[in-house]
Chain A
Amino acid sequence: MQAFLDTLLGDAVGLERQLGYLAGMVVFGAVVVFGFVLPFAGIVTWAERRIWARIQSRVGPNRVGPFGFLQWLADGVKNILKEDIIPTVADRPLFRFAPYVVMVGFIAAFVCIPFSGDLIIADLNIGILYVTAVTSVVVVGILMAGWSSNNRWSLLGGIRAATQIISYEIPASLAIFPAVLLSGTLSMQGIIGEQGAAPWQWHMFHSPFTLLGFGLFFTAALAEGNRTPFDLPEAESELVAGFATEYSGMRSTLFFMAEWGNLYVIGALVTTLYLGGWQVPQFTYNPVLMNLAQMGVFLGKSLACVFFMIWLRATLPRVRVDQLMALCWKYMVPLAMLSVFGTATLMVALPNGSHTLRMATFAVVVGVVIRFAFKVRFHLKRSRALDYSSLSTGASQGLSS
């Protein structure tokens, strides 16, 4: 961002230059928040419902606009117009304040999330640490909401959120370490800069340990973002809507916007740490074209992660509370430790890295993907396509085939 602003500012010096930087960052921040984050949080609700529906052999929202694309706008307008109810027994100031805390924790993470080689609001040298810190603020908001609602379900949801998010901070942070160790920096752009454009140059394929770290970080990030299979804080079948039970109208929308927007934060973090970020081959020296290509690659990878999270949500059932804790402390923390120490040992043993190990890890992942494709083909062939729509004509040919 600084380099990009330098080209804009020309030869301004001193205070003018600093003000120019400030103005540039504020403008870019506003563009990111209002032009990308908030619409994204809305659009992903539509995408999630569509993808989810297809997995369940349904159609999903398809009435508002082409393929129902404008559904999120209709829902947003509906939610804004709804009455904002505050229960009489609720702790009013806390109740009203909680959604903003959640929202701040979520939006503040975008300060350090890169979009391309030059486009990042602020490339802090403690970038990833900052993101981990501010996303933890969300739990304060959730706990506030759960407590102030003065409702059993809300309180249970809030307490669950607190235990879950705080517990999963540990494997998530530990699983960040391998990438940080390999890069030798906490800065987001620095971590991406250490990786290459080709898939086997990503941190994910450095060794089996980083592959493990990738999986652990993804899972722990899911749990921190309250996503299925870890959506216990708002488990619909158990807790009505968890900490959001008493919220209505725009305040509840803020909670859900933060939750869905968090998908992108998780996707961007995974992309930055393990999937090579915005790295593209140097195909041109035009900075604009280069940045556009980088932006496309970064968005593509992040959205692929978001898709994977939605797909997971449609696949896995919710875990129990004791299973959640067992998974965290008994399985993920030791495995994350293994990942960190394995990577560190490997870096000492092979200071320049091992190309063979890289390619072997990459080959294993490619093998898993191919195996997956065969599995999908198997399920497609084994499943009998029963077209219920043909049954309505009174013909019974659908059943006999």
Chain B
Amino acid sequence: MSAVTSWLQNVTASCSTVFEGLSITFSHFFRKPYTVEYPDRMETRVQDTLPFRYRGMLEVDLEICTGCLACERACPIECIVIDAIKDKATGQLMINRFDIDLAKCMYCGLCSEPCPTGSIHHTREFEGSDYSLESMMRRYIKFPVAAYKPKKTGEDDPEIIPVLERGMRFLDEFAQPAAKPASGTTSSSGTTSSPGTTSSPGTTDPGSGTG
């Protein structure tokens, strides 16, 4: 008798479990798929959703690079190579070469911390796939440019001001993470040049900036 009851139990159990399973799977027709169709069918690019301090691929704003070589010295794996020579005739510091080997870069962020102007900084770009190692070498200098020299009277070139302000934002993020709003932040909100801001790029280094 027990054989018959267990047989019947098996029949009813298989029917009811299949019924239950079908109801669960059917309910999924009324739910949205979780798939995120990266990269081409996103509502917003992933890069735009990342935080400002995201350590993506490095970028250099040559307009405000002072040629101080702080980043080259800071880089633990020497992926940054800078050539800066003082031009005898004009007395200007000329940058002849500024290469970053992104294939070597380990995104530690040590180079962007000592940068006085925030010229070298991380972007939110992270899609670096390419066909050759050679193309990972970013050469920023096509022809020699004069290094940026902070003016005593404050920056007055309208093309440089926004770049400098952006650079200072990177710098503030690194140098004064928890401190009171630094001089750079307050003055950079106003577009007019103030002595405090413009002198700081040349003189401030991260350690003394808070004092």
**Residues of A participating in the B interface, judged by any CB pair closer than 8 Å:** 53-59, 311-312, 314-316, 330-331, 335, 368, 372, 375-376, 378-380, 383, 385, 387-389, 392-394
Contact of A380 among B25, B27, B51 (CB under 8 A): B27
| Shortest beta-carbon contacts, A-B, top 9 | A375-B23, A379-B27, A59-B35, A315-B25, A315-B21, A376-B27, A55-B25, A55-B28, A57-B34
Q: A311-B26, A380-B30 are in contact. Are A392 and B35 (CB under 8 A)?
A: no
CB distance from A76 to the nearest CB of B (A): 25
Q: A57-B33, A389-B34, A389-B36 are in contact. Are A331 and B51 (CB under 8 A)?
A: no
Chain A contacts for B49, CB-based, 8 A: 392-394
A-B contact pairs, 8 of them (CB 8 A): A55-B25, A58-B33, A59-B37, A311-B26, A312-B22, A314-B25, A316-B18, A335-B11
Q: In the complex the two chains form, is B19's CB within 8 Å of A53's CB?
A: no
Query: A312 CA to B17 CA in the complex, in Å?
Result: 12
Q: In the complex the two chains form, is A57's CB within 8 Å of B22's CB?
A: no
Closest A residue, CB atoms, query B11: A331
CB distance from A319 to the nearest CB of B (A): 10
CB distance from A228 to the nearest CB of B (A): 12
Q: In the complex the two chains form, is A394's CB within 8 Å of B23's CB?
A: no
Q: In the complex the two chains form, is A394's CB within 8 Å of B25's CB?
A: no
Chain A contacts for B108, CB-based, 8 A: none
Chain B contacts for A57, CB-based, 8 A: 28, 31-35
Interface residue count on the B side (C-beta < 8 Å): 28
Query: A380 CA to B25 CA in the complex, in Å?
Result: 10
Q: A383-B31, A392-B46 are in contact. Are A311 and B20 (CB under 8 A)?
A: no
Q: In the complex the two chains form, is B22's CB within 8 Å of A385's CB?
A: no
Query: A383 CA to B30 CA in the complex, in Å?
Result: 11
Q: In the complex the two chains form, is A331's CB within 8 Å of B27's CB?
A: no
Query: A335 CA to B14 CA in the complex, in Å?
Result: 14
CB distance from B53 to the nearest CB of A (A): 12
Q: In the complex the two chains form, is B27's CB within 8 Å of A54's CB?
A: no
Contact of A388 among B21, B30, B34 (CB under 8 A): B34
Closest A residue, CB atoms, query B10: A331
**Residues of B participating in the A interface, judged by any CB pair closer than 8 Å:** 7, 10-11, 18-37, 44, 46, 49-51
Q: In the complex the two chains form, is A315's CB within 8 Å of B22's CB?
A: yes
Q: In the complex the two chains form, is B32's CB within 8 Å of A387's CB?
A: yes
Closest B residue, CB atoms, query A386: B34
Chain B contacts for A331, CB-based, 8 A: 7, 10-11
Contact of B26 among A53, A316, A376 (CB under 8 A): A376
Chain A contacts for B22, CB-based, 8 A: 311-312, 315, 372
Closest A residue, CB atoms, query B35: A59
Q: A315-B21, A394-B51 are in contact. Are A56 and B37 (CB under 8 A)?
A: no
Chain A contacts for B7, CB-based, 8 A: 330-331
Query: A388 CA to B31 CA in the complex, in Å?
Result: 13
Query: A372 CA to B23 CA in the complex, in Å?
Result: 6
Query: Besides the contacts A57-B34, A315-B24, A393-B49, what 15 more A-B pairs have beta carbons closer than 8 Å?
Result: A58-B33, A58-B34, A311-B25, A314-B25, A316-B21, A331-B11, A376-B23, A376-B27, A378-B23, A380-B27, A380-B31, A383-B31, A385-B31, A387-B34, A388-B34
CB distance from B71 to the nearest CB of A (A): 28
CB distance from A340 to the nearest CB of B (A): 17
Chain B contacts for A314, CB-based, 8 A: 25
Query: A55 CA to B21 CA in the complex, in Å?
Result: 12
Chain A contacts for B29, CB-based, 8 A: 54-55
CB distance from B8 to the nearest CB of A (A): 10
Q: In the complex the two chains form, is B28's CB within 8 Å of A56's CB?
A: yes
Chain B contacts for A389, CB-based, 8 A: 34, 36
Q: In the complex the two chains form, is B28's CB within 8 Å of A54's CB?
A: yes
Query: A59 CA to B38 CA in the complex, in Å?
Result: 12
Query: A57 CA to B51 CA in the complex, in Å?
Result: 29
Chain A contacts for B24, CB-based, 8 A: 315, 379
